Chains A and B, each alone.
Chain A
Amino acid sequence: MTRHIVATVDEIAPGTCKIVTVKGREIGVFHINNEFFALINRCPHQGAQLCRGALLSRLESPGPGEYSLTRQGEMLRCPWHCWEFDVRTGQSWCDPDSVHARTFAVEVEPGEKLAKGPFEAETVPVSVEQNYVVITV
């Protein structure tokens, strides 16, 4: 497992995603409610570019006609068949035990710490003044 610097914090606006390629894999790095998450950009169902899908709230219901939204923007909906995935765990809503998208550890680190290196497959040049998103793949 290697750590990879994939973006500056400012580069990924809240509620959006940057897709990076690390070790030949496309990975979507999300900025949601001041947290960062990384998921493989491939739906486990039929291989669609999962991270191009919409970010939605978690929708549940205590009973018919009752609608409850929680965890705003933390569910990723595949653009092909609308299966929903939890960005924190990669678990699908419909079959969480057996259908899940791979997730990767994400950290935010200051450049002065990272500049010591070495790192692999960095997609952004590092300066000591900024904070960076680092994923482990």
Chain B
Amino acid sequence: MCKIVIPASVRPIDCDVHLAVPNTRALLPYLDDYWREHIIRRGIDGDNLELSAYPPNAPLNCRPDWRPQQGLPGSQFEQLRDHVLEPFQPRFVICNVLHGSQIMFSEDLSAALCRAINNWIAAEWLDRDPRLRASIVVPAHSPELAVAEIERRADDRRFVQVLMLAMTEMPLGRRQHWPIYQAAEHLDLPIGIHAGSSFRHPPSALGWSSYYLEDYVSQAPGFSGVLNSLVTEGVFNKFPRLKVVLIESGVSWLPAHFWRINKTWRGVRSETPWVDRVPSEIIREHVRLTVQPFDDPPDKALVQTILDEIGSDEMLLFSTDYPHWHFEGTDAIPPGLPSDVLTKILADNALATYARLN
């Protein structure tokens, strides 16, 4: 099979790289006095507060040759430099932190930890390399505090996106979340929706799964539900400049989703009359997807068919999903993507999506 390499003339924009908070102690300098003592008093500074969606020892969650001898994958700048910045020579890298801070029951603790993580990102990463950009981590279940954090961080234009999880307590289109979208639209911040769940509700429509395999595979239908919710609740009517980036969602399920939502909309559109055009058009205009993992078909010629069915060459964004294990060496470009589309995927589409990269 012919491998596609990144053309030397293109400096790609990597729209999904994961940083790991090495441990909760690393956040103590970035917390205010009260929350620092709160965490020490409760003795939770020794707990890494990881999201159970991404157990650190699961093989998928770190490519073997990227796994450090000590500490969490993606927790040190030198790893990112050696594994991403040097080999791929990206123009920009958008760093996404997935952390339990995003889903704490206590909204105040959640917000305090999100503030600390954003401060940590700025000081320990963004200040280290001018190519690094980041998503703002927010307590999405507490829109008021999430908006406060977005507004607090927005002056720093190295923060280019607001990060949310796909499967949380409330479908993402619901009006409870709208203050977050309003702030994001106003401040030129796309909403990045990453695979993940808060795990205090069944992570799939079928209830609780028994195995990691079920849980991981359930993410794609989870994203399908996210699109349903955003479209039918009218988020894109209310916030017409809002962009949403589905991160680590996979891609090839999208044409089937288009078919089903378009077809059904014709008969039941009267329930949501603000959905005033065919839903796939709305999704094409507002939604982007990162390309790792790319659930490509065995016959690479069919990738063109998938792109034709998606009906847009502007929706896909390059990503390595570092340090997750989706490819070997530097083969980060999924096979079968035609070269004319590739240039757009590598950089142009990201520049059109993230106003703050320009």
A residues at B contact (CB < 8 Å): 56, 59-68, 81-84, 92-95
CB pairs A–B below 8 angstroms (24 shown)? A56-B270, A61-B274, A61-B276, A62-B274, A63-B274, A64-B233, A64-B235, A64-B237, A65-B234, A66-B274, A67-B273, A68-B273, A81-B266, A82-B267, A82-B270, A83-B267, A84-B270, A92-B266, A93-B269, A94-B265, A94-B266, A94-B269, A94-B278, A95-B278
Chain A nearest Cβ from B158, distance in angstroms: 33
Residues A63 and B238 in contact in the complex (CB < 8 Å), given A94-B265, A94-B278: yes
Q: Classify the secondary structure of A's interface with B.
A: loop
Residues of chain A within 8 A (CB-CB) of B278 are 94-95
Question: Shortest 9 CB-CB distances between A and B: which pairs?
Answer: A64-B234, A61-B273, A82-B267, A94-B266, A61-B274, A81-B267, A59-B273, A64-B274, A59-B270
B residues at A contact (CB < 8 Å): 175, 233-235, 237-238, 265-270, 272-274, 276, 278
A82 to B271, CA, bound (A): 12
Chain A nearest Cβ from B269, distance in angstroms: 7
- A63 to B265, Cβ gap below 8 A? no
Q: Classify the secondary structure of B's interface with A.
A: helix
- B268 to A82, Cβ gap below 8 A? yes
- B273 to A60, Cβ gap below 8 A? yes
A96 to B237, CA, bound (A): 21
A4 to B178, CA, bound (A): 57
- B276 to A95, Cβ gap below 8 A? no
Given contacts A59-B270, A64-B233, A64-B234, 18 further A-B contacts (CB under 8 A): A60-B273, A61-B273, A61-B276, A63-B234, A63-B274, A64-B175, A64-B237, A64-B274, A65-B274, A66-B274, A81-B266, A81-B267, A83-B266, A84-B270, A93-B269, A94-B278, A95-B266, A95-B278
Chain A nearest Cβ from B119, distance in angstroms: 35
A95 to B270, CA, bound (A): 14
Residues of chain B within 8 A (CB-CB) of A60 are 273, 276
In the complex formed, the residue of B with least CB distance to A69 is: B273
Chain B nearest Cβ from A127, distance in angstroms: 43
Chain A nearest Cβ from B234, distance in angstroms: 3
In the complex formed, the residue of A with least CB distance to B238 is: A64
Chain A nearest Cβ from B235, distance in angstroms: 8
A80 to B241, CA, bound (A): 37
A97 to B237, CA, bound (A): 23
In the complex formed, the residue of B with least CB distance to A99 is: B266
A61 to B275, CA, bound (A): 8
Chain B nearest Cβ from A35, distance in angstroms: 23
Chain B nearest Cβ from A82, distance in angstroms: 4
A82 to B175, CA, bound (A): 28
Residues of chain A within 8 A (CB-CB) of B234 are 63-65
